[in-house]
Amino acid sequence: MASKPEAIIRDEIRALAAYHVPDSSGMVKLDAMENPYRLPADVRGRIAELVANAQINRYPDAAAGALKARLRDALGMPEDAELILGNGSDELIQMLMMATARANAKALSVDPTFVMFRLIASYCRMDYVSVPLQADFSLDTERMLIALEKHRPALVFLAYPNNPTGNLFDAESIERIIRAAPGLVVVDEAYHAFAGRTFMTRLAEFDNLLVMRTLSKSGLAGLRLGLLAGAREWLHHIDKVRLPYNVGVLTQLVAEEALQHRSLLDQQAAVIRAERTRLDAALSAMPGTNVYPSDANFILFRTAAAPRVFDALKQRGVLVKNLHGSHPALDGCLRVTVGTPDENDRFLAALGESLA
């Protein structure tokens, strides 16, 4: 008789709940930090042409040379920095952990933060340690320094801005952490387009710093393209655990084309930042909400009876993210992605009714 899953599948994997993606058909979708804008029709036409002529019978360029050159240019990467591409930055987190997960090796981050840090650590059998953020979601630098000393983590992850809280941590605190870390520090700049602050230009200052970006939050979530920048000394080892051809022909072609229209993506980000300001003011003016400042394309806010408000929003056709119950520090918290002006108005109207 064949064995049961209990005898074969690792305990920590059986204990996981599958990542739940809610059905959003027909909804105002403000739950996943996507850019609400598509590319203009002429650019989409050009993409259609590129796809029609793509050699999908062939494996992709394994080194993705043309795309990397365009990315270097678009992202203002230092010339001597090395670059690895991933199937989204999620895959880069996985590559980092696979390459460093020696017996008892640890990854360290803050709490609450991006849930994939903890999940991927579990997939890779890496110990995961997290240091609570302060009540205003700023870094507790002293506790971080103590944790570095105590746990000697191989990897430190800092999302800058942080998800789901939306804030940028203090740059000097991050600098102290990088200097004190015994291993690599990965600054995850998934929301860079909305923050305008970066450690990318500071790679040369620290020999243990890596900077991660993604195109997902800037209008290309469906492509799945993330990148990791840093010193060759580190990245050439990380690159060995990358599966060959992890970035497909179509992703390479479309990303290259989209990046030629970088000013369009930048304009979209500027509109989203302006809407963030408007949404923040409108949310703050509502009775019974507590709004956290955001440098990302989403806003975290607290309200009494968050699960009821979440359901009432959903009934009115608006999907946000309910964080209540995910972490004690997020009790009563909902997270709304900044949408188009029209979507934001619909959200605000639905929220007004839901809070009433």
Ligand X SMILES: *Cc1c(COP(=O)(O)O)cnc(C)c1O
Site for ligand X (CB under 6 A): which residue of 100, 110, 114, 147?
114
Q: Which is nearer to ligand X, 89 or 289 (CB)?
A: 89
Determine, following the binding rule CB under 6 A, whether residue 226 of this chain makes contact with ligand X.
yes
Q: Which listed residue (89, 141, 303, 344) binds ligand X by CB under 6 A?
A: 89
Pick the binder of ligand X from 99, 107, 121, 159 (CB under 6 A): 159
Closest by CA to 93, choosing from 137, 66, 55, 124, is: 124
Distance CA 36, CA 158 (A): 26
- Tokens representing 303 are 């309200």
Q: Which is nearer to ligand X, 89 or 141 (CB)?
A: 89
Q: Which two tokens stand for residue 348?
A: 């605000």
CB of 190 to ligand X, least distance (A): 4
Q: Which two tokens stand for residue 168?
A: 């940028």
Q: Which residues, in sequence order, are bridge partners of residue 186?
A: 157, 210
DSSP 8-class letter at 3: P
Q: Does 90 bind ligand X (CB under 6 A)?
A: yes
Nearest approach, Cβ of residue 247 and ligand X (Å): 12
Q: Closest separation between CB of residue 117 and ligand X, Å?
A: 8
Q: Where are the alpha helices (DSSP H) in 227-340?
A: 232-238, 249-260, 262-284, 306-315
- Contact window for ligand X (CB under 6 A) among 13-21, 58-66, 88-96, 331-339: 88-96
Of 12-20, 58-66, 83-91, 348-356, which part binds ligand X (CB under 6 A)? 83-91
Q: Which is nearer to ligand X, 194 or 346 (CB)?
A: 194
Considering the rule CB under 6 A, would residue 214 count as an interface residue with ligand X?
yes
CB 151, CB 129: distance < 8 Å: yes
Please report, for residues 11, 53, 165, 228, the alpha-carbon distance to residue 171 in angstroms, rounded to integers and kept in the order given: 39, 45, 16, 19
User: Strand, coil or helix: what is 354?
Assistant: helix
Sign of CA dihedral 278, 322, 339, 91: positive
What does DSSP say about strands 155-159 and 106-111: parallel, antiparallel, or unpaired?
Answer: parallel
**Residue 214, helix vs strand vs coil:** strand
CB neighbours of residue 142 within 10 Å: 11
Beta-bridge partners for 252: none
Nearer to ligand X, 226 or 248 (CB): 226
Which tokens in the block code for residue 226? Answer: 């993330």
Among 34, 82, 188, 343, binds ligand X (CB under 6 A): 188
The yes or no reply on residue 163 touching ligand X (CB under 6 A) is: yes
The reply on whether position 88 binds ligand X by CB under 6 A is yes
210 binds ligand X (CB under 6 A): no
Q: Which two tokens stand for residue 143?
A: 């506790």
Instruction: Number of residues interacting with ligand X: please give it, by CB under 6 A.
Output: 12
Quick one: which segment of 46-54, 86-94, 264-272, 326-334 binds ligand X (CB under 6 A)?
Answer: 86-94
Give the nearer residue to ligand X in terms of CB position, either 94 or 141: 94
Of 49-57, 71-79, 82-90, 249-257, which part binds ligand X (CB under 6 A)? 82-90
With vertex at residue 153, the alpha carbon angle to CA 150 and CA 159, rounded to the nearest 5 degrees, is 115
User: Please, which residue, 90 or 140, has the CB nearer to ligand X?
Assistant: 90
Q: Which of residues 114 and 234 has its CB atom nearest to ligand X in the complex?
A: 114
Binding site for ligand X (CB under 6 A): 33, 88-90, 114, 159, 163, 188, 190, 214, 216, 226
